[in-house]
A and B are shown apart, each in its own frame.
Chain A
Amino acid sequence: MTKYVIRRFLGLLPTLFIIITISFFIIRVAPGGPFSREKALPKQILENIEKKYHLDEPLIVQYGRYLLDILRGDLGPSFRYKDHDVNYYILNALPDSMVLGLMSLCLALLLGISTGIVSATRQNSVLDYSSMAVAVIGISIPLFVVGPVLMYIFAIRLDLLPTSGWIMADGSWKTAIMPVATLTLPYFAYLARLSRASILETLRSDYVRTARAKGLSPSVIMFKHILKGALLPVVSYLGPAFANIVTGSIVVETIFRVPGLGIFFIQSAINRDYTLIMGTVIVYSVILLIMNFIVDIAYGFMDPRISYT
């Protein structure tokens, strides 16, 4: 079992390596540099800056230097924001994004699976059709429409909720409602559909028929026999879901001015702040890889047919 875990973990490293490499080369190869936006600096100063940031050395050397730094956990100085280095900015912004993302995902899981169960057991009823209609709407409307619409209705028209601010930055709990609701919606919708489909399919299986033939009650059948198997696709989906939530949170943070990693990312992409971009990408990737890893292990736990050898 431990060998399995270790092996899967080691399998993550090549992917991380490739991500870092690709990001590095894309950014370096791209036209323009971090300072080309500003007014033309005197040649001497430009040369000094390049020297300071090692931009005059051959690409390979820069790459090697960067890898070494990363191994030491140092993501380098920000090219744009001279006050602090990348680690500082990322560590500041990361918790906000994580809270937003995790809250949304947990809420989506809870609501989605319950809706799926209810829909599947009352198939073709009014409840079923209406919740599935809501679910289809949920996956059809983009985040950046839902957000502003919610903001328009609740903040501008009805004045019930604040338009921006964030709980962790001295905002009231009310500031969390709309961002979380916005980010939850598409995942709740997808999970509701997914669990409904999976439960319906499990309901038709032979072993559920056996369970009924033994005289077990519907709730026992659902929670003991059905969910274990039916939730496997849901667990599989969690991997890509994390990835999507990362990108989705960028949008939500932009709309509701949540001071998270997303805003930094966009800004640094536009500013061509190499180190900040790469730092953000690496952090995101690491989080994703770890989450995927956890999901893999969890899946292995849940399905006894998978052997750990």
Chain B
Amino acid sequence: MADTAIKGKSVKETQLPLDQFGEPIKGVSLWLDAWRRLKKNRMALIGLSIVILYSIIALLAPVLPIHSYKHQVLDHQYLPPSFTKTAGQLLYERQEALFQQAAKDAGFEAMPAEYVQALEIFREQLATETQEFDGVAVKVHERRYYLGTDGLGRDLLSRIIYGSQVSIAIGLIGTLTAVMIGLIIGSLAGYIGGTFDYIAMRVVDVMYGLPYMLLVIIFMAIFGRNIINLFVCLALVSWLTVSRVVRGQMISLKNSEFVQAARVVGASPGRIIFRHLVPNTLGVVVIFATLQIPNFILLESFLSYLGLGVQAPMASWGSLVRDGVDAVSIYPWMLFFPALAMTIFLFSMNFLGDGLRDALDPQSKNVL
């Protein structure tokens, strides 16, 4: 009987146990349920796809057909973005405009012969000049710079892509570290309670009161501006919220009835913590993580902006923006493109985080 398909339902459904009305009972796990809800949230899905896109591009950066992010071609300084024109054409046009202006200033109506000839020579040079990159001679002026170049002739597009590697990595690793530390300390404090809890929470309270950004700045300024210090600093200050949240969850859950039931059945404390309590806190932690990654990226870019983050020739979104800010009045694309790239990513992560929160906690469905 269970094998015959009931009209209108899939075969798989008909093999489910039936309830009193002859309708199949579909069980759902928490995560499946959440995923179903997430799927319905269009903005969150768009956010998710953008984040995935960014991650893929960042991962594949070394094999993508883009220019190097650190090779400097000083001739190509400050080239504006262009989809169609090669570097050579842009340089030629620039030179031509200069000559025309000079001619006008000197009172000539048309360009004098010397200028024209100089332009011809220039054009020749542009067509044939080569430079060596990694041992391969390349006709350097035939490159296209889709997003323009910076002050040292480096391609902005590839710097943005490599910058995304740095920024996203910092966001991810920083958040993971913070979550790890916070989870451990928080769950122990919540479950064990007593003196350990008291001390841990006093530490958290004091650290909360510290203007940690200031201390971070001092730290970086004095101990050196390398990536390791950056990670250390950022992780040190952000585990606080996770631990508080996890601890809160632990405390409210550890006396709940399902835990008592588990104890009655004879489960060990370890099993209780890991099989029963931690999964219940995961929802909150996941939400925190997706909303903390953008924060980390912002923090790092803030430090880079102040000159305390990643150092040249490495780029991160923050350092690119800093370079762009300095030149914004004459070369606006240097600010615009990195800022846009970073904003879109953060935007997507925020929407994704919101969507996850709605999906995991349906009670807060219409709550942002």
| Chain B residue contacts of A27, Cβ below 8 A | 218, 222
Q: How far is the CB of A247 from chain B (nearest CB, A)?
A: 4
Instruction: Tell me if A251 and B302 are in contact (CB < 8 A).
Output: yes
User: What 6 A-B pairs are tightest by C-beta distance, nearest first?
Assistant: A30-B222, A140-B346, A247-B213, A269-B221, A15-B209, A148-B325
B88 at the interface (CB under 8 A from A): no
Interface stretch of the complex, out of B92-100, B242-250, B256-264, B328-336: B328-336
Majority SS at the chain B contact face? helix
- Tell me the B220-242 residues at the A interface (CB within 8 Å): 221-223
Interface stretch of the complex, out of B125-133, B178-186, B360-368: B360-368
Q: How far is the CB of B215 from chain A (nearest CB, A)?
A: 7
- Interface extent on B, as a size class? 35 or more
Interface residues of B (CB under 8 A from A): 205-206, 209-211, 213-215, 217-219, 221-223, 294, 298, 301-302, 305-306, 318, 321-322, 324-325, 328-329, 332, 335, 339, 342-343, 346-347, 350-351, 354, 364, 366-368
| Chain B residue contacts of A68, Cβ below 8 A | none
Q: Cα distance A140–B50 when bound, in Å?
A: 15
Of B213, B223, B339, B368, which contacts A145 at CB under 8 A?
A: B339
Q: Which of B210, B215, B322 has the most CB of A within 10 A?
A: B210
Q: How far is the CB of A288 from chain B (nearest CB, A)?
A: 6
Q: Cα distance A276–B334 when bound, in Å?
A: 35
Chain A: interface residue total (CB-CB under 8 A) = 54
Instruction: Tell me if B347 and A145 are in contact (CB < 8 A).
Output: no
- Tell me the A14-50 residues at the B interface (CB within 8 Å): 14-15, 18-19, 22-23, 26-27, 30-32
Scan A247-288; emit 1 where CB is below 8 A from any B CB, else 0. 100010011000000000110011010000100110011001
Q: Cα distance A23–B205 when bound, in Å?
A: 18
Instruction: Tell me if B211 and A269 are in contact (CB < 8 A).
Output: no
Q: Cα distance A77–B209 when bound, in Å?
A: 27
Instruction: Tell me if B214 and A26 are in contact (CB < 8 A).
Output: no
Q: Cα distance A255–B305 when bound, in Å?
A: 11
Instruction: Tell me if A30 and B223 are in contact (CB < 8 A).
Output: yes
Instruction: Tell me if A145 and B218 are in contact (CB < 8 A).
Output: no
Instruction: Tell me if B211 and A26 are in contact (CB < 8 A).
Output: no
| Chain B residue contacts of A254, Cβ below 8 A | 306
Q: How far is the CB of A148 from chain B (nearest CB, A)?
A: 4
Instruction: Tell me if A142 and B342 are in contact (CB < 8 A).
Output: yes
Instruction: Tell me if B219 and A26 are in contact (CB < 8 A).
Output: yes
